[in-house]
Amino acid sequence: MAELITDARFDTPDAAFQLIVDAHRDLDAKASASLNARLVLLLANHVGDMAVLEQAVEAAKRSGR
């Protein structure tokens, strides 16, 4: 079974974070949520592995508590 990778993988993680933050700049709450939903679906499709996606969903749910 494939495992979710949670270690940092970007050479410049701050730049990756900033890219996402900047994408949301000047968006209202509805547009921001819509962007997040589209981004999640695009990245989930890129992963293309249900087991990894399930692990990611569970990890995200745990980290929000």
Q: What is the pLDDT of residue 33?
A: 98
Q: What is the pLDDT of residue 64?
A: 83
Dihedral through CA 17, CA 22, CA 27, CA 29, nearest 10? 10
Q: Where are the alpha helices (DSSP H) in 1-65?
A: 13-24, 29-47, 50-63
* Greater model confidence, 64 or 42: 42
Q: What is the pLDDT of residues 7-54, one digit of tens each?
A: 999 999 999 999 999 999 999 999 999 999 999 999 999 999 999 999
At 1, the pLDDT band (50, 70, 90 cuts) reads confident
